[in-house]
């Protein structure tokens, strides 16, 4: 596909020598995804890295759906479009499970529950928990991160109430300026980190 304006695509893809080596390092799967609200001929898959959604690959529209090739399983992706240097969501986030099945991640505001994060290892927090620090939990509402609540770490598991079921979650330690925390979901009473 030819792009008339190089600035119409994310900077990472402007290098003519850019090669995707995903299939050389992991099993991959093609994703076919209908995105009715995206009128563009190109859409992008973004991953959450360093506090923002960053495009990692593109898909070309064919009839009613976009085809994203060589996507790595066990990753959460956000379908986005790129305009004027900004990425914007065009679909709910999706999780490609280890079998290569695509699962849509949608917060269910009618099914609220509790999330307990019991250990440093479980939380995947760089530097671990810091006693006396307040940790905040957010969920992705398919457009932006929304605050759920906060809890202070005092040698007990962190507990958060009123968490939407099936939501993509983000645990933040204020003052972590690297934004290197990982996102997660609570799926069938199990917390899965990405």
Q: How do residues 25-44 score in pLDDT, each as one tens digit?
A: 888 899 999 998 888 888 99
Task: Indicate whether 74 and 115 sit together in one domain.
Answer: no
Q: CATH number, domain at 175?
A: 2.60.40
**In whole angstroms, what is the distance from residue 185 CA to residue 115 CA?**
10
Task: Indicate whether 15 and 84 sit together in one domain.
Answer: yes
Task: Indicate whether 88 and 137 sit together in one domain.
Answer: no
Residue 65 has pLDDT above 90, yes or no: yes
Write out the two tokens for 184. Answer: 């997660």
Residue 120 has pLDDT above 70, yes or no: no
Whole-prediction pTM: 0.88
| DSSP H stretches of helix in the chain | 22-25, 120-123
Task: Indicate whether 144 and 120 sit together in one domain.
Answer: yes
Task: Indicate whether 125 and 184 sit together in one domain.
Answer: yes
What is the per-residue pLDDT across 6-32, written as a single tens digit (0 to 9) for each? Answer: 667 788 877 777 777 788 888 889 999
Domain span at 27: 6-105
What 8-state DSSP symbol labels residue 86?
E
pLDDT computed for residue 4 by the predictor = 58
- Say if residues 31 and 59 touch (Cβ distance below 8 Å): yes
| Residue where a domain terminates, one of 65, 80, 105 | 105
Question: Mean pLDDT score of the chain, rounded to an integer?
Answer: 86
Whether 92 maps to a domain, the answer reads: yes
- Say if residues 87 and 13 touch (Cβ distance below 8 Å): no
Task: Indicate whether 34 and 101 sit together in one domain.
Answer: yes
Average pLDDT of the segment spanning 67-78: 93
Whether 26 maps to a domain, the answer reads: yes
Q: What does DSSP say about strands 42-49 and 29-34: parallel, antiparallel, or unpaired?
A: unpaired
Whether 54 maps to a domain, the answer reads: yes
Average pLDDT of the segment spanning 51-67: 91
Task: Indicate whether 147 and 189 sit together in one domain.
Answer: yes
Task: Indicate whether 24 and 98 sit together in one domain.
Answer: yes
Place of tokens 């006693």: 131
Q: Please, which residues bridge with residue 166 across strands?
A: none
Task: Indicate whether 113 and 101 sit together in one domain.
Answer: no
Provide the pLDDT confidence category of residue 126 given band limits of 50, 70 and 90.
low
**In whole angstroms, what is the distance from residue 15 CA to residue 24 CA?**
20
Place of tokens 């994310």: 10
In the chain, the number of structural domains is 2
Task: Indicate whether 60 and 116 sit together in one domain.
Answer: no
| Residue where a domain terminates, one of 105, 140, 168 | 105
Whether 1 maps to a domain, the answer reads: no
pLDDT computed for residue 99 by the predictor = 86
Average pLDDT of the segment spanning 46-68: 92
C-beta neighbour count of 131 within 10 angstroms: 8
């Amino acid at each position: 596909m030819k792009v008339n304006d190089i600035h119409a695509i994310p900077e990472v893809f402007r290098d003519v020598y850019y090669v995707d080596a995903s299939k050389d390092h992991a099993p991959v799967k093609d994703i076919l995804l209908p995105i009715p609200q995206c009128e563009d001929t190109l859409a992008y898959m973004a991953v959450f890295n360093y506090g923002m959604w960053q495009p990692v690959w593109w898909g070309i529209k064919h009839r009613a759906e976009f085809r994203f090739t060589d996507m790595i399983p066990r990753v959460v992706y956000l379908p986005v479009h790129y305009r004027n240097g900004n990425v914007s969501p065009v679909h709910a986030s999706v999780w490609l499970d280890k079998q290569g099945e695509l699962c849509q991640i949608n917060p269910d505001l009618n099914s609220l529950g509790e999330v307990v994060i019991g250990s440093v290892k479980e939380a995947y927090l760089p530097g671990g928990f810091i006693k006396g620090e307040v940790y905040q939990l957010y969920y992705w509402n398919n457009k932006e991160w929304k605050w759920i609540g906060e809890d202070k770490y005092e040698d007990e598991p962190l507990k958060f109430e009123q968490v939407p079921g099936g939501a993509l979650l983000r645990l933040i330690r204020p003052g972590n300026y690297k934004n290197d925390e990982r996102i997660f979901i609570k799926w069938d009473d199990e917390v899965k980190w990405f």
